Amino acid sequence: MEQVILVDEHDRESGLMEKMEAHEKALLHRAFSVFIFNERGEMLLQQRALSKYHSGGLWTNACCSHPRPYETTTTAAKRRLKEEMGFVTDIHKVFDFTYQASFDNGLTEYEFDHVFVGMYNGVIHANENEVAAYEYKSMQEIEKELLSKNDHYTAWFHIAFPKVYAWWKECYEPGVENRKSVVNKH
């Protein structure tokens, strides 16, 4: 039985609950989203497997999930990046936000979401149980698609992407010779 960490609006823990029950009751719980960039400044996107309990087939960031009880959010983010995309890289938290989204199957994501960024240019070994497809895209292309193909992306990606894009414009400028140091500074 997979559990999530229930939190208040300041991310203070208030208990544990079975994951599906928390989604059925729309209770606020801790989550994370990982955004990965390559050396060209493109973002890694994954298309969620069709079998996912919600948002199957939609495009989103490199990975996202929930930390386990007694697991730090950073450790959980690195674990899920390896489990979903098949690689490990350094990641750094850049911000957090809270969002709520209801789905057609009666479930609701109500999450205090910790957002991490990292760099990766190597081979990807995506887990087919988690990921239907993946690709790198420019930030400008993603921004255009969110307007023209907005139903192709997850609810949380619509909220997180503008915040990540603002961070990217400030800290991850195209043309910076050593992009990895720019990502690691923030």
Q: Which residues are catalytically annotated?
A: 64, 111
DSSP per-residue codes, 29-95: EEEEEEEEE-TTSPEEEEEEPTTSSSSTT-EEESEEE-PPTT--HHHHHHHHHHHHHS----EEEEE
Least confident range from 57-61, 149-153, 174-178: namely: 174-178
**pTM listed for this prediction:** 0.89
Residue-wise pLDDT for 97-118, tens only, equals 999 988 888 888 899 999 999 9
Distances in whole angstroms, Cα of residue 120 to Cα of each of 34, 159, 183: 12, 23, 11
- Domains (range + CATH), the chain: 3-172 (3.90.79.10)
Instruction: Look at residue 180 in the predicted model and tell me its pLDDT.
Output: 44
What share of residues in the chain are helix, strand, coil (percent, to 5)? 30, 35, 35
**For 47-103, what is each residue's pLDDT tens digit?**
988 887 667 789 999 999 999 999 999 999 999 999 999 999 999 999 999 999 888
Report the pLDDT value the prediction gives residue 156, as an integer from 0 to 100.
87
Closest to 17 (Cα-Cα) out of 32, 6, 28, 31: 6
Average pLDDT over residues 1-23: 95
